[in-house]
Amino acid sequence: MALRAYRHEWRLPFRLARRQLGDSVHGPPLNDLAGNWRKAKEFFTKPALSYGEFKQQCVSLRLFAFGGVCGACALSLVIFPPKSSYWVTWGPSYWFSHVQRCFGSAPPLFLSKKLETTVSAPKVASAPKVEQLRSESSAAPAVSPKAAAVPAKPRVLFVLGGPGAGKGTQCAKICEHFPQWQHISAGDCLRAERQDPNSKDGELINTCLKEGKIVPVQITVRLLQKAMVAGQKEGKTDFLIDGFPRNLDNVNGWEEVIGDSANVMGVLFFEAAQSEMEKRLLGRSETSGRVDDNLESIRKRFATYEKETRPIVEKYRDKEMVFSVDAMQSIESVWSHTLAKLRQVESIAKFGQ
């Protein structure tokens, strides 16, 4: 007896739902879709003769209206996915690759062996601004048929964060693991240029470095352009532009000189507390030989960073282009966060921003 009562317990929700219709209504139960569909159609085709009948038509119609609205919302999320990086990482299209990864059969997100000559010279040359990029180089690389499959535009990820946040350290790890990436540090380019006795900009760069000030973009962007061209000749397709853009002048200079000839995928942003960054830089000063790794210059660099660079990060954040990494942890832990963010960048690039 008790068992029989228990067996019927699952019907309780349906009984409760039906009670709301009032005892006078004897329509199809909620799980009778065909019956409800008939009643829902009657809403449009048959005038109700009683309040009870009208209520039943509404209830049946509501069932399909609810299903339709939910289905349309789900479909629109698939057809027009939100651009948010959270959606890309946690949305249903990513569930499949999560599961695939568990079985080790997912295709690698990044290339795992060294690229051969992969620059598509004809495509690169056809874009006017890339022509500018190429004009910096003397000899064009030989083009193999395979090269035609590679996207013409170099992909760029700006890398920002306070002085000593660990940008260079993590960029080096990315390049170590993924051979299509090249690390180009704006600061390194400027330091190398300063050493060149033939450079007319050496003195100006030197003063800016010591004072923690930002060098005029005309100088910096030319050096970045030159480094990218050299990287392309070696088959690099993806560039980590470290320490750039540092201010509005940098942003505008990039737009003018590089503009559409490169695909900027976002900003990889390393976040750390000033006290930690100061400690790291003072540690680095023992071996780096950098003129700006001393307490006075470090503090000036922090001030410049807060005043000029942070607002730039916020600008990119407003455009949902910032991939933040908590840089306060150990190098290895920061690396695992960096990898996760790179995957997001890659997914967003794949599904189109």
Ligand X SMILES: Nc1ncnc2c1ncn2[C@@H]1O[C@H](COP(=O)(O)OP(=O)(O)OP(=O)(O)O)[C@@H](O)[C@H]1O
Ligand Y SMILES: Nc1ccn([C@H]2C[C@H](O)[C@@H](COP(=O)(O)O)O2)c(=O)n1
Q: How many residues bind ligand X (CB under 6 A)?
A: 16
Q: Is 209 in the site for ligand Y (CB under 6 A)?
A: yes
Q: Which of 161, 179, 187, 235 binds ligand Y (CB under 6 A)?
A: 187
Q: Which of 155, 167, 183, 236 binds ligand X (CB under 6 A)?
A: 167
Does the annotation place 47 within a ligand binding site? no
Is residue 232 left, alpha or beta, with left meaning phi > 0 and alpha meaning psi from -120 to 50?
A: alpha
Angle at 184 between CA 320 and CA 328, to 5 degrees: 60
Choose the stretch contacting ligand X; rule: CB under 6 A; options: 74-82, 163-171, 312-320, 344-352.
163-171
Does the annotation place 246 within a ligand binding site? yes
Query: Which residues lie closer than 8 Å to 297 by C-beta, 6 or more apart?
Result: 209, 210, 211, 212, 291
87 contacts 351 by C-beta, under 8 angstroms = no
Q: Residue 212: which of ligand Y, ligand X, none does it interact with, CB under 5 to 8 A by kind?
A: ligand Y
Strands 263-271 and 238-242: unpaired
Q: Is 235 in the site for ligand X (CB under 6 A)?
A: no
SS3 state at 251: helix
Question: Which residues in 168-187 contact ligand X (CB under 6 A)?
Answer: 168-169, 187
Distance CA 295, CA 279 (A): 10
Q: What is the DSSP letter of 289?
A: -
Question: Which residues in 304-323 contact ligand Y (CB under 6 A)?
Answer: none
Q: How many residues bind ligand Y (CB under 6 A)?
A: 17
In the complex, least distance from residue 185 CB atom to ligand Y, rounded to whole angstroms: 6
Distance CA 150, CA 121 (A): 10
Torsion of CA 186, 192, 193, 197, to 10 degrees: 170
In the complex, least distance from residue 321 CB atom to ligand Y, rounded to whole angstroms: 18
- Amino acid letter at 188? D
Residues that bind ligand X (CB under 6 A): 161, 163-169, 187, 243, 280, 283-284, 330-331, 334
Residues that bind ligand Y (CB under 6 A): 163, 185-187, 190, 208-209, 212, 214-215, 220, 243-244, 246, 250, 292, 301
Q: Which residues define the annotated binding site for ATP?
A: 164-169, 284, 329
